[in-house]
Amino acid sequence: MEKRLYKINRGKMVDGVCGGIAEYFGLDPTLVRLAWIIFSAMGGSGILAYILAAVVIPREPEEF
Protein backbone atom coordinates (compact mmCIF):
# COMPACT_ATOMS: atom_id res chain seq x y z
CA MET A 1 0.00 0.00 0.00
CA GLU A 2 1.36 3.42 -0.92
CA LYS A 3 1.83 6.15 1.67
CA ARG A 4 -0.69 9.03 1.27
CA LEU A 5 -1.12 12.35 3.05
CA TYR A 6 -4.62 12.77 4.52
CA LYS A 7 -6.32 14.96 7.09
CA ILE A 8 -7.15 12.69 10.02
CA ASN A 9 -10.65 12.13 11.41
CA ARG A 10 -9.73 10.97 14.91
CA GLY A 11 -7.82 13.07 17.43
CA LYS A 12 -8.05 16.25 15.39
CA MET A 13 -7.94 19.70 16.96
CA VAL A 14 -9.18 21.99 14.18
CA ASP A 15 -9.37 20.22 10.82
CA GLY A 16 -6.88 17.37 11.17
CA VAL A 17 -4.12 18.88 9.04
CA CYS A 18 -1.32 18.79 11.64
CA GLY A 19 -2.35 15.30 12.78
CA GLY A 20 -2.27 14.07 9.20
CA ILE A 21 1.15 15.58 8.56
CA ALA A 22 2.46 14.07 11.81
CA GLU A 23 1.08 10.64 10.88
CA TYR A 24 2.60 10.84 7.39
CA PHE A 25 6.10 11.65 8.72
CA GLY A 26 5.84 9.47 11.84
CA LEU A 27 6.04 12.39 14.29
CA ASP A 28 4.18 13.38 17.44
CA PRO A 29 1.17 15.56 16.48
CA THR A 30 1.92 17.94 19.37
CA LEU A 31 5.33 18.76 17.89
CA VAL A 32 3.81 19.48 14.49
CA ARG A 33 1.17 21.72 16.10
CA LEU A 34 3.83 23.62 18.07
CA ALA A 35 5.93 24.07 14.94
CA TRP A 36 2.87 25.38 13.09
CA ILE A 37 2.15 27.88 15.90
CA ILE A 38 5.75 29.13 15.80
CA PHE A 39 5.59 29.36 12.00
CA SER A 40 2.35 31.36 12.27
CA ALA A 41 3.80 33.73 14.87
CA MET A 42 6.72 34.56 12.59
CA GLY A 43 4.91 36.73 10.08
CA GLY A 44 1.47 35.10 10.00
CA SER A 45 2.02 33.12 6.81
CA GLY A 46 1.39 29.89 8.75
CA ILE A 47 -2.30 30.75 9.04
CA LEU A 48 -2.61 31.08 5.27
CA ALA A 49 -0.61 27.86 4.80
CA TYR A 50 -2.94 26.01 7.20
CA ILE A 51 -6.04 27.23 5.36
CA LEU A 52 -4.55 26.18 2.01
CA ALA A 53 -3.56 22.77 3.42
CA ALA A 54 -7.07 22.29 4.86
CA VAL A 55 -8.55 22.92 1.41
CA VAL A 56 -6.01 20.91 -0.63
CA ILE A 57 -5.31 17.82 1.53
CA PRO A 58 -8.08 15.21 1.21
CA ARG A 59 -9.94 13.78 4.21
CA GLU A 60 -8.87 10.33 5.40
CA PRO A 61 -11.21 7.64 3.98
CA GLU A 62 -13.63 6.07 6.45
CA GLU A 63 -12.84 2.51 7.48
CA PHE A 64 -15.82 0.22 7.89
Q: Which domain holds residue 30?
A: 17-56
Residue 37 lies in a domain: yes
In a domain, 34, yes or no: yes
DSSP reduced 3-state for 45: helix
Asked if residue 11 is part of any domain, the answer here is: no
Does the model's pTM come out above 0.85?
no
- 29 part of a folded domain: yes
What is the tens place of the pLDDT at every residue in 6-42? 888 777 778 888 888 998 999 998 999 898 888 888 8
Which has the higher per-residue pLDDT, 64 or 35?
Answer: 35
Predicted pLDDT of residue 34: 92
Q: Is residue 48 part of a domain?
A: yes
Alpha-carbon separation of residue 24 from 2, 5, 21, 33, 44 (angstroms): 11, 6, 5, 14, 24
Split into its structural domains, the chain has a count of: 1
In a domain, 30, yes or no: yes
Confidence of residue 64 (pLDDT cuts 50, 70, 90): low
